Chain A
Amino acid sequence: QQPVQSPQAVILREGEDAVINCSSSKALYSVHWYRQKHGEAPVFLMILLKGGEQKGHDKISASFNEKKQQSSLYLTASQLSYSGTYFCGTTPGPARQLTFGSGTQLTVLP
């Protein structure tokens, strides 16, 4: 079952913060986050496993609430390079395939 991402699109100014949410109606084992720039390949950002851990690198971090079956991606002090479409992918178990959400288009303006 495809996870639901929100919002569908967001526009912000350089330096502002953004949150992208990913939720599922089914129990989740892992959540994967990717960023795709227009016409390019998706690029891996991070994986979160059930257990409620939070991960991050640089100014991008994410959390995973397994009880609520949802994950949030936090972009702090956005940079122009953060623009792109963010996809979450979820798995219901350790040996199951990724199912991607429909994406959140993030535009960072100068």
Chain B
Amino acid sequence: DAMVIQNPRYQVTQFGKPVTLSCSQTLNHNVMYWYQQKSSQAPKLLFHYYDKDFNNEADTPDNFQSRRPNTSFCFLDIRSPGLGDAAMYLCATSREEYSDTQYFGPGTRLTVL
């Protein structure tokens, strides 16, 4: 009965090789978020979708892109991963933006070789 699913749970890629992380939800929530979390650091919001409207955080590098083809799915694309992009990537959803409770997926741990 998982509500926010992330695939894969572990992803290994090579320096510079594009990679896509996947998130799906069964909650029918309007909002989907992507966070990056490095070791011992706070989750850092990269961007979010409210329905089809994309909202990018000002300090998110251009290397990170996202797609939301429908309500249930959202993808994080890293065009040219660098060693500094190795992190845990968390997907979350909420019914409404920000002030609503967020439901998190288990995360995808990305390793860049």
A binds B: no
- A interface residues with partner B (beta carbon < 8 Å): none
- B interface residues with partner A (beta carbon < 8 Å): none
